[in-house]
C-alpha cells in the first residue's frame, strides 16, 4: 500500500511540475518523472510472490513468472528515452530561436 502511494505521488508530482514549471528543461524532467511513475506502477502491479523464472525444469511443477510484463517495461523504457531525447532536441531548437527557456517569454515573443 505504501509503495502504491509513493508511485502515485511520483506521477502526481510530475504532473504538477508539468503544469506549474516555467522552464522547458524542468518540464522535460517532469514528463520523465511521470513516465518513471507509470513504469513503477506497472512493475508493482505485475509483481507477484512465489513465482519462479520461466526456465523449464521437468522435475519442478511450480508457478512461473510471465515474461510479457518485462518485455513491455523494457519497451516502455526505450520509448520513453527516445521521446525524452526528442523533447530535448525541441528545447534546443527553441533555445536557439528564442534565447530563453522560459515558456511565458517564448509565448510573449511569439505572439508579437
Entry field: residues in the chain: 112
Buried/exposed 11-41: b ≥16 CB within 10 Å, e otherwise: beebeebbeeeeebeebbbbbbbbbbbbbbb
Give me the pLDDT at residue 68, please: 84
Q: Mind listing the pLDDT tens digit for each residue in 46-100?
A: 877 767 777 777 777 777 777 888 889 999 999 999 999 999 999 999 999 999 9
Closest C-alpha to 53, from 61, 43, 44, 63: 63
Please report, for the chain, the start and end positions of each structural domain, with discontinuous segments joined by +. Answer: 2-47+65-111
Q: Mind listing the pLDDT tens digit for each residue in 4-43?
A: 999 999 999 999 999 999 999 999 999 999 999 999 999 8
Give me the pLDDT at residue 52, please: 73
Give me the pLDDT at residue 34, please: 95
> Does domain 2-47+65-111 bear CATH number 1.10.287.3510?
yes
Give me the pLDDT at residue 60, please: 74
Give me the pLDDT at residue 41, please: 92
Amino acid at each position: 500500500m505504501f509503495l502504491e502511494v509513493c508511485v502515485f505521488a511520483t506521477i502526481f508530482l510530475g504532473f504538477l511540475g508539468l503544469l506549474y514549471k516555467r522552464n522547458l528543461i524542468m518540464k522535460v524532467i517532469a514528463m520523465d518523472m511521470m513516465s518513471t511513475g507509470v513504469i513503477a506502477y506497472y512493475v508493482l502491479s505485475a509483481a507477484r510472490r512465489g513465482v519462479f523464472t520461466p526456465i523449464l525444469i521437468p522435475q519442478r511443477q511450480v508457478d512461473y513468472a510471465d515474461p510479457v510484463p518485462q518485455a513491455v517495461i523494457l519497451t516502455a523504457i526505450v520509448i520513453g528515452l527516445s521521446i525524452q531525447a526528442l523533447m530535448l532536441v525541441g528545447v534546443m531548437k527553441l533555445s536557439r530561436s528564442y534565447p530563453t527557456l522560459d515558456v511565458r517569454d517564448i509565448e510573449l515573443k511569439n505572439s508579437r
